Structure 1
């Protein structure tokens, strides 16, 4: 659990739940929301007060109930928990496809389903889903991951349509390649980690990996009560990867 900084920010008095909040993007999001005044409940598999496996409906409901009992309300839900996958469409078996979709897509449904009764009571209810550039651009060796994140994007829009008249805003953030522990492990496993990092950095027009804190800032914008007219969008944090087409650098 992350306590608020007490600085009277825009989230003062609000309670936020962040899944997958113990590391990477989720950890940065939890810290940013707390710095802006929120009381933040981190849900993760370990190293947190609210232990939760988003693939298990029982633990999801137990964790969400515990948060509501602890803080008395839930105003913001950040569905960030997820896993990656590599390979073409032929490289992962059925079990892996089901495992990734169960966590990345159905996990969002489970947590949101459990949190909805509390969000409906909030005057500033917001849900932010962590999507990916993989949902909107064809990336090599990311077939399964891209399919799951494409589902997250579609799910975000459908949820936004379903719940806006209940006063619940739903949006998603679509990061490029973020410098997280998962990317670090992929780089470490590469034959030439330095060359692989350089290739991933060069793929993004601004020439570097996205910082987790940059994604956290975008999530905070989407979740903020000040963004009441921002609904059903995907906010790209990708260094221009989704929209820019630059000429090759001249030698």
Structure 2
């Protein structure tokens, strides 16, 4: 089965690197017109646009900090001008913040993670839904994490933000379903991106990480991107209000494979 998104208008926040870049490229390859959002690396965003257009796709880059509500409004207005609306939103922009125990972290650092990961996702979803609801069509997919379910010491803000995104997804899906709009989340596990390189490139850390993954390997960004295309397509037309875990079984708690 070949999945196509011809003519669909997609926005990928944080689309200039890592999982976001892979998703943007895969959406473009499936025929979608893609807006690659970036915050501070215009050259990297331009490279993703080039990769999409070089194979005959349509793409443009738009700068915006998703934690700034006014910047998000402006970004969607720019997308209206370029593509005339939106059919697919991928809420991917996110940060994990500093590793600090909760009783030691500066509250402003904690708030920054929430502002980007949760409020940023909401600001973008709100603008997308304002356009999708009247059209009775559209898909919102937020990139969550296995840490919406698995605690992560030193990263309380990150885990809290992803749990918040999960419940926000369910609630927005409930609100939007009567209008034919789907709202989903995907939760990657350990994925081989540049931001994770210190872990997967270090033999000892990699060995420890693999003990947490039943499939015994680290995932590739393309695997996340391909599933995102499936979920954004009509193949998944009866799926809404759920987080789809793409984690090699990490949330299956492999430490319980033997004993109890």
Question: TM-score, normalised on structure 2?
Answer: 0.85
Q: Report what 1:19 is aligned to.
A: 13
Aligned to 2:96: 84
Aligned position for 2:221:
212
1:1-251 to 2 correspondences below 5 Å: 9-45=3-39, 46-47=41-42, 48=45, 49-85=61-97, 86-122=99-135, 124-184=137-197, 186-187=198-199, 193-243=202-252, 245=254, 247=257
Where does structure 1 lack aligned partners over 5 or more consecutive residues? Answer: 1-7
Distance in 2, Cα, partners of 1:177 & 1:140: 16
Question: Is 108-117 or 77-86 further displaced after alignment?
Answer: 108-117
Q: What whole-Å deviation, never above 9, does each CA across 1:1-41 have from its counterpart, x for those lacking one?
A: xxxxxxx9521111000000000000000011111111111
Q: Is contact 1:10–1:226 with CA below 8 Å preserved after alignment? A: no
How many residues end up aligned between the 2 structures?
A: 237
Q: Is the 8 A contact 1:43 1:52 kept in 2?
A: yes
Give, in whole Å, the separation in 2 of the partners of 1:213 and 1:164: 29
How far 1:210 moved relative to its partner? 1.6
- 2:136–2:179 contact (8 Å) kept in structure 1: no
Q: Deviations over 1:76-123 (max 9, x none)?
A: 000000001323322422011110000000001111222223222445
Distance in 1 separating the partners of 2:31 and 2:224: 18
Normalised by the size of structure 1, how large is the TM-score?
0.88
Distance 1:92 1:239 in 2: 31
Aligned-partner Cα distance in 2 for 1:88–1:176: 22
CA RMSD for the aligned pairs? 1.9
More helix by share: 2
Change (3 A) 1:9 1:123: farther
Aligned residue for 1:3?
none
